[in-house]
């Protein structure tokens, strides 16, 4: 499909403007200078910056030059190399504080392994007070729109006597008119802690930073109703990746951050910024190397270090990673100019994508997306560079986020799906009750899995997020992907909504113009863009069919001895305990032992078995023994790998095969096979399945099947999507791309959706566990559990 959306570019005030000239003028030129990095020359569209941003090549280059040109010793020693490390680290601490517009007199920087470790440190050290006679217990309050790592602090606070109190965002606002009570309240010194995010990692909503002073002064709920001394923890991990944080304006007591969200490198390093006036209330129980001013091993005597950072940084910190932070700040300054530039640039991208996505409609006029946001992306002050949504089909049914994620991966578009470690926001926006969350768990859904729908209701959503190196081309590629894969044609746009968003939500200082839009059956075009000749489409829908119970023909049997490599066609073949004998019994892994698929290494498709010898064109043939006697592997390396998240035990097939594959693929790799005595069972055994449901190195099933009638319809639709209707693939070529074991000649496309079982010869294949693709229901099944999945192109 040649759909082309609005070309736009962020101006200096975060609005939308015409496409930039070849050499963008002004401050935004620095963003385009970054595009020379190899990281963005691979065709990858990276839209998961809220999880981890990308690092610039210059950061790593300068860092490597630094640590190879200098000797950095342990900072706890006093040698010249150790002194250099200590001095460099102090410089980094200062630069961190400078970045947040504060000084060492006001704040201290405690390095941790990340923001989660910083949160845990506060929870462990805060002076929680139990309820005593005549005194109230400490409150641990947190906004329900908080990260799991914040909510998890109650696991440490509650056993220490604190009372956990979740606060809804609207409750915090409703208390704005209240004030601190008089009387004896001033004498109460019970410590309370209130935690809230500067920016929601779920929706990108920015909470008012002024609420920090409001809680501290007891003007806001719940502080206005509870006497005591109130401290504020501002979770800034998501916020600081694209927004400037000024601690002079919002003097929070504790601020956790993670540096990889800011720079992309190094990972595993964060910090807790502690207001010096609040540092004295923190009490540590454990003391590690470097944290003591003095202690006795034979007596219970310990004096903590006077310096806040020294007191809380147990042992030797990751000093080489800390040195990299200095190069991160330098790269950020050189590439972007300021955090304000980053904020306006990324907000412009997010706003542009929100406006188009929320206005995009199916051919019947129904919206394509359900966007989860409190506002309408009016300003970068209230909204970050995060867009959270679910796609819906033309009938208004949610399309599961796992399907969107899988299809995006095929387009090399990287997004995030699920609940994003923010159950509170997920429940609020998706309307999931606590009772339903428990039912979802009973149904098998856990955090981080791919079970995206339970009883037709979503368990999570899709999130795209932008970083300072993101471009409008990234936005357009994502929008084209949505239109091509999930919109029933013709693509339409809700012009009334789009106009409202353009005029009502634009910042007052924004003077940017929007190109006009023209609608066609095939897509959306700029008014001055010539519409390509393309046959109109009525939609990429699947026809409902009912099995007639008649006879069908098995037209092809294929085995794939090496996972993700070429097929070997056979006319008859024995069945083994794990499916077709020898099917996907071997796989290729890279130098780190990670399975290589055609997604990562497309040339694997050229490795074709010939009578179970292996060779691509132009290469010598290599033979791999079939014998799986355990004694055969006594001298070979036993290793572990993963397939679809499952651990598998394998044995290495030797240096000859490894050398042959490494030469062909141009990278270090090994050939491994599943150990003969290792059993990997299906995750969910269906009712009526055979006793044996063990798997080889397949992803999820013993067999894959396709219907040639369905494939023929797909081939025709694929051809229609290209200009001039060019037929790029014949039916057999399309079949080969689905990598099926069994090819059935059905009578009508997609009639197999309604099959309950299949009998080939004397073997019965049972159908089980329906799932959805583009809103249509399909089934998985084996011999015992036979698997059908049309869009699983690489296995």
CB distance 8 to 514 below 8 Å? yes
**Tokens read off for 576:** 């083994």
**Tokens read off for 500:** 């409202």
Catalytic residue selected from 141, 224, 361, 421: 421
Torsion angle of the four alpha carbons 31, 34, 39, 45, in this order, in degrees rounded to the nearest 10: 20
What's the rounded Cα separation, in Å, for the pair 254 and 236?
10
What's the rounded Cα separation, in Å, for the pair 388 and 433?
19
Helix/strand/coil for 388: strand
Give, as one character, the DSSP assignment of residue 135: B
Torsion angle of the four alpha carbons 759, 760, 763, 766, in this order, in degrees rounded to the nearest 10: -40
**Tokens read off for 331:** 């790269």
Torsion angle of the four alpha carbons 600, 604, 605, 608, in this order, in degrees rounded to the nearest 10: -160
CB distance 228 to 189 below 8 Å? yes
Q: DSSP readout, 148-179?
A: HHHHTTHHHHGGGTPEEEEE-HHHHHHGGG--
Q: DSSP readout, 411-467?
A: TTEE-EEE-TT-HHHHHHHHT--HHHHHHHHHTT--TTSS--EETTEES-EEEEE--
What's the rounded Cα separation, in Å, for the pair 565 and 665?
12
CB distance 216 to 232 below 8 Å? yes
Radius of gyration of the chain (CA): 30
Helix/strand/coil for 213: helix
Helix/strand/coil for 767: strand
Sort strands 608-610 and 613-615 into parallel, antiparallel or unpaired.
antiparallel
Backbone angles phi, psi at 42, to 5 degrees: -100, 0
Longest pairwise C-alpha distance within the chain: 91
CB distance 49 to 57 below 8 Å? no
Buried b (16+ CB within 10 A) or exposed e, 238-253: bbbbbbebebeebbbb
What's the rounded Cα separation, in Å, for the pair 499 and 505?
10
Kindly give the interhelix angle for 423-430 and 434-442, rounded to the nearest 10 degrees: 110
Neighbours of 724 (CB within 10 A): 9
CB distance 524 to 5 below 8 Å? yes
421 has catalytic annotation? yes
Sort strands 292-296 and 301-304 into parallel, antiparallel or unpaired.
antiparallel
Q: List residues with catalytic annotation.
A: 421
């Amino acid at each position: 499909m040649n759909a082309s959306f609005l070309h736009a570019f962020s101006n200096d005030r975060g609005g939308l403007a015409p496409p930039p000239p070849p050499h963008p003028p002004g401050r935004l030129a620095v963003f385009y200078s970054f595009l020379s990095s190899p990281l963005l020359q691979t065709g990858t569209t990276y839209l998961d910056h809220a999880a981890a941003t990308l690092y610039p090549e210059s950061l790593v280059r300068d860092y490597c030059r630094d640590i190879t040109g200098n000797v950095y010793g342990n900072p706890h020693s006093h040698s010249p190399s150790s002194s250099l490390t200590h001095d460099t680290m102090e410089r980094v601490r200062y630069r961190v504080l400078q970045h947040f517009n504060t000084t060492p007199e006001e704040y201290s920087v405690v390095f941790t392994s990340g923001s989660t470790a910083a949160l845990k440190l506060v929870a462990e050290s805060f002076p929680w007070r139990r309820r005593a006679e005549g005194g109230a217990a400490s409150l641990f309050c947190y906004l329900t729109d908080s990260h799991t790592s914040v909510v998890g602090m109650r696991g440490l606070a509650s056993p220490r006597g604190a009372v956990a109190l979740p606060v809804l965002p609207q409750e915090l606002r409703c208390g704005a008119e209240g004030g601190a009570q008089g009387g004896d309240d001033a004498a109460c010194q019970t410590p309370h802690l209130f935690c809230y995010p500067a920016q929601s990692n779920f929706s990108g909503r920015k909470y008012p930073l002024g609420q920090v002073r409001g809680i501290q002064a007891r003007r806001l709920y719940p502080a206005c109703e509870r006497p005591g001394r109130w401290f504020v923890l501002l979770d800034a991990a998501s916020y600081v990746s694209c927004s400037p944080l000024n601690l002079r304006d919002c003097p929070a007591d504790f601020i956790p951050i993670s540096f990889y969200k800011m720079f992309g490198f190094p990972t595993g390093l964060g910090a807790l910024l502690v207001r010096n006036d609040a540092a004295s209330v923190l009490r540590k129980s454990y003391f590690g190397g470097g944290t003591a001013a003095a202690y006795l091993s034979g007596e219970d005597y310990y004096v903590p270090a006077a310096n806040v950072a020294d007191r809380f940084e147990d042992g030797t910190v990751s000093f080489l990673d800390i040195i990299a932070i200095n190069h991160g700040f330098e790269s950020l300054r050189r590439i972007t100019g300021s955090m304000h530039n980053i904020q306006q640039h990324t907000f412009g991208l997010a706003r542009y994508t929100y406006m188009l996505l929320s206005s995009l409609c199916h051919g019947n006029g129904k919206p394509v997306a359900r966007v989860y946001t409190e506002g309408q992306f009016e300003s970068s002050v209230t909204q970050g560079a995060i867009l959270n949504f679910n796609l819906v089909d033309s009938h208004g049914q949610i399309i599961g986020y796992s399907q969107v994620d899988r299809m995006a991966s095929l387009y090399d578009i990287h997004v995030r799906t699920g609940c994003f470690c923010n159950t509170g926001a997920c429940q609020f926006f998706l309307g999931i009750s606590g009772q339903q969350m428990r039912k979802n768990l009973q149904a098998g859904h856990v955090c981080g899995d791919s079970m995206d729908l339970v009883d037709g209701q979503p368990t999570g959503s899709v999130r795209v997020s932008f970083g300072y190196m993101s471009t409008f081309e990234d936005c357009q590629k994502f929008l084209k992907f949505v239109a091509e894969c999930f919109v029933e044609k013709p693509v339409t746009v809700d012009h009334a909504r789009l106009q409202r968003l353009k005029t009502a939500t634009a910042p007052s200082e924004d003077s940017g113009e929007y190109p006009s839009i023209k609608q066609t059956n095939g897509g959306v075009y700029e008014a001055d863009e010539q519409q390509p000749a393309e046959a109109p489409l009525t939609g990429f829908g699947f026809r409902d069919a009912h099995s007639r119970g008649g006879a069908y023909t098995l037209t092809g049997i294929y085995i794939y001895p090496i996972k993700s490599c070429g097929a070997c066609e056979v006319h008859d073949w024995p069945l083994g305990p794990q499916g077709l004998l020898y099917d996907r019994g071997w796989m290729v892994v890279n130098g780190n032992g990670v399975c290589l698929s055609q997604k990562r290494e497309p040339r694997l498709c050229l490795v074709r078995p010939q009578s179970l010898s292996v060779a691509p064109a132009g290469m010598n043939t290599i033979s791999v023994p079939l014998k799986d006697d355990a004694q055969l592997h006594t001298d070979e390396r036993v290793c572990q790998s993963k397939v679809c998240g499952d651990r598998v035990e394998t044995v290495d097939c030797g240096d000859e095969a490894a050398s042959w594959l490494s030469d062909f693929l141009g990278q270090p790799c090994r050939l491994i096979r599943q150990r003969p005595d290792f059993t990997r069972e299906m995750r969910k055994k269906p009712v009526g399945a055979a006793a044996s449901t063990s798997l080889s190195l397949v992803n999820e099933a013993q067999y894959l099947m396709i219907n040639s009638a369905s494939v023929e319809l797909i081939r025709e639709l694929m051809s229609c999507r290209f200009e001039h209707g060019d037929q790029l693939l014949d039916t057999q070529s399309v079949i080969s791309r689905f990598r099926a074991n069994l090819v059935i000649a059905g009578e009508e496309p997609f009639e197999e959706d309604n099959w309950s079982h299949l009998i080939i010869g004397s073997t019965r294949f049972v159908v089980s566990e329906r799932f959805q693709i583009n809103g249509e229901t399909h089934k998985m099944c084996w011999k015992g559990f036979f698997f059908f999945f049309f869009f699983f192109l690489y296995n």
